[in-house]
Amino acid sequence: MNKLIVTGGTQLRGEISVSGAKNAALPVLIASLLTSEIVRISNVPHLNDITTTLELLGRLGVQFVVDEKMTIEADASELTDLRAPYELVKTMRASILVLGPMLARFGQAEVSMPGGCAIGSRPVNLHIKGLQAMGAEIDIKDGYIKARAKRLHGARIFLDISSVTGTENLMMAATLAQGTTVIENAAREPEVVDLANCLIAMGARIKGAGTAEITIEGVEKLSGAEHRIIPDRIETGTYLVAAALSGGDVRLRNARPDLAESVIEKLREAGAHVETGPDWVHLDMKGERPRSVNVRTAPYPAFPTDMQAQFVVLNSIAEGTGTVTETVFENRFMHVHELQRMGADIEMQGNTAIIRGVEKLRGAPVMATDLRASACLALAGLVAESDTVIDRIYHIDRGYECLEEKLSQLGARIRRVADYPAPAMRAAAAGD
Ligand code: EPZ
């Protein structure tokens, strides 16, 4: 299994480009199921989760043309199957997003229940409840969600929790339903807005995306469209934290700093000098050590849970004591054990990490557990003495395009190695 080796001690300097947002690209690609015409999507990041999505849609019969810049033309005119199998859904929970579109356009769908994952049980009850309110008959049998509906009808749906993919699934289903649907307590994330903009370009009638109340007036059919995916605000935040914790000076282009305001404000509080433009952001730490900050995750526009692990690392080497409270997922601190093994001084109190900053961390063999936690271990390696060897980096490849290339462009010493056998076995194999 591949590993990443990070050698600490360099201040990151330079400029890199931000990729398209994974969590916008996934629902937008899946929205192609809603029409028999071509949907052309540009600025798609080159990630394993995207490959999985293309494989899943391909299984359903969607045809693709993908160019070298990852512009994807999707053609869902001839679907051959309406079943999303367990072996694909288990690798990517966002596969649940095919349920709403298939139900809306074809009146039936069979999707494997996405099991839990490292960061929590992550049920899909709100997706199911909303579709039932729109007239779907749903049975859960043998681990599969079996759904049918002659034609979905509009409904007023209150989401107990402002679920991101729950909002996206129901919004897509409502575009072809009979009548008007109102989603209350909807997720306000920029990725929901990006999906809505793509659906509107396809002829959907949607108002209020980005607010807590989204109104969708169903139409008979949707047409093809062209759509460019927004920049990834979490990738943006991740590289800004990497610059801040290494005392560096980094500029990100093709960014949307207006979508990362809560993170940028926290970095300024930590002592970073941050300037922003319409499509760029520049962070200069002027060689200073960051100051500790207190962070509490919550749905957008509050501080994002996907940036929580990165700020645990920042606080680990900052001056002072900072706290990080996770309110979205019930088990999203597995990176803490790995950071403690690198010398971080972290005490857990319920869903809050109390972090006393130390000057430096110590390199160590560590293990990635989920997508964002694994990226934070690479960041920790930047400010650790000697080498940090990160195992299970398939988590990183799911959500960060060319992480080691981008960090290397900024001067980091990071390389990917195949997992050679243990030294003794290697010597024997070499006939030493
Ligand atoms: C999306 O996941 C993102 N994934 C996650 O990013 C992100 O962390 C999360 O939103 C929160 O911002 C994609 O967009 C593909 P939720 P999602 O439904 O939609 C509970 C990453 O790193 N809930 O907003 O699955 C749930 O258990 C990933 O890119 C229910 O109880 O998250 C959680 O506690 C990780 N019932 C809370 O709501 C439901 O039916 C928020 O989950 C749905 C959710």
User: The dihedral of CA 149, 152, 156, 157: what is its sign?
Assistant: positive
* Cβ–Cβ < 8 Å for 45, 400: no
Q: How many CB atoms lie within 10 A of CB 211?
A: 11
Residue 23 near ligand 1, beta carbon < 6 Å: yes
Residue 399 near ligand 1, beta carbon < 6 Å: yes
Question: What is the CA(3)–ligand 1 centre distance, in A?
Answer: 27
Query: Residue 98 has what pLDDT?
Result: 97
In 106-217, the DSSP E strands lie at 108-112, 137-141, 144-148, 156-158, 180-184, 205-207, 213-217
Residue 285 near ligand 1, beta carbon < 6 Å: no
Question: What is the CA(114)–ligand 1 centre distance, in A?
Answer: 12
Query: Residue 122 has what pLDDT?
Result: 75
Residue 92 near ligand 1, beta carbon < 6 Å: no
Identity (one letter) of the amino acid at 357? G
Per-residue pLDDT of the chain (432 residues; tens, 9 = 90+): 789 999 999 999 999 999 999 999 999 999 999 999 999 999 999 999 999 999 999 999 999 999 999 999 999 999 999 999 999 888 898 999 999 999 999 999 999 998 666 777 778 999 999 999 999 999 999 999 999 999 999 999 999 999 999 999 999 999 999 999 999 999 999 999 999 999 999 999 999 999 999 999 999 999 999 999 999 999 999 999 999 999 999 999 999 999 999 999 999 999 999 999 999 999 999 999 999 999 999 999 999 999 999 999 999 999 999 999 999 998 899 999 999 999 999 999 999 999 999 999 999 999 988 888 889 999 999 999 999 999 988 888 888 888 999 999 999 999 999 865 555 555 555 543
Locate the ligand 1 atom nearest the alpha carbon of residue 161 and give its number. 38
Residue 297 near ligand 1, beta carbon < 6 Å: no
How far apart are alpha carbons 90 and 18 in whole angstroms?
28
How far apart are alpha carbons 317 and 291 in whole angstroms?
9
Active site residues: 117
Residue 176 near ligand 1, beta carbon < 6 Å: no
Query: Residue 368 has what pLDDT?
Result: 86
Query: Residue 90 has what pLDDT?
Result: 87
Question: What is the CA(161)–ligand 1 centre distance, in A?
Answer: 10
How far apart are alpha carbons 278 and 42 in whole angstroms?
19
Query: Residue 244 has what pLDDT?
Result: 98
Which residues are within 8 A (CB) of 149 and not within 5 positions of it... i.e. 6 or more apart? Answer: 103, 107, 108, 131, 134, 135, 136, 137
Query: Residue 423 has what pLDDT?
Result: 52
Question: What is the CA(153)–ligand 1 centre distance, in A?
Answer: 26
Nearest alpha carbon to residue 193 among 183, 207, 173, 175: 207
The SS3 assignment for 101 reads helix
By alpha-carbon position, which residue is closest to atom 41 of ligand 1? 163
Residue 69 burial by CB count (10 A; 0-12/13-18/19+): exposed, middle or buried? exposed
Ramachandran quadrant class, 138 (left: phi over 0; alpha: psi -120 to 50; beta: rest): beta
**DSSP 8-state assignment for residue 113:** P
**H/E element holding 235?**
helix 233-245
